[in-house]
Amino acid sequence: MLNLHTLQSNNKKKRKRVGRGNASGHGNYSGKGQKGQKSRSGAKIRRGFEGGQTPWYKKIPKYKGIKPRYPKYKIISLGLLNKHFQEGETVSVKTLRDKGLVKGLNKYRGIKILGTGELKVKNLKVIGCQMSEKVKSAFGLKNKQPALKKRKKSTKSKTV
């Protein structure tokens, strides 16, 4: 009967004994070859080491500054707002997404409305979008930021 407690291991392979004479097949140089850094005891060569020669990653020039991974804002013009919105509507991330003006918002840091064209639609409310100075004046705002959604504070208590 074959059960777990009656099983026997087939792992009978003997370990490689190095430096025990030439007849063993691993004598003389013990499988390490002749001379050189890798044949010495405790030989470890770090990745990218080129034997003292200046490695390739130090020869490559360094560039100043770091470019952002994604462009800062998804840009929307006043002309698009005229086309897709009617009087009294709210312009928010959700409404822009529903109307197909914004796709793949995770590639951008937010939405910015720029003043290319004229605003012909009246009484638009803007929520959660950045605006240029020209657009702020078109909406009748003076140095006011649009209302942004407040983030929820974490409920974790601080321990001192």
CATH number where 124 lies? 3.100.10.10
The answer, yes or no, to whether residue 142 has pLDDT greater than 80, is no
Say how many domains are in the chain: 1
Name the average pLDDT for the chain: 84
Is pTM beyond 0.85? Reply is: no
Residue 117 banded pLDDT, cuts 50, 70, 90: confident
Residues 6+ apart with CB under 8 A from 9: none
Tens digits of residue pLDDT in 70-115: 778 889 998 888 889 998 889 998 999 999 888 887 778 889 999 8
Query: How many residues in the chain?
Result: 160
Residue 3: inside a domain: no
* CA gap 146, 60 in Å, rounded: 45
Residue 87: inside a domain: yes
Residue 107: inside a domain: yes
Better pLDDT: 63 or 42: 42
Domain residues for 107? 74-139
Residue 64: inside a domain: no
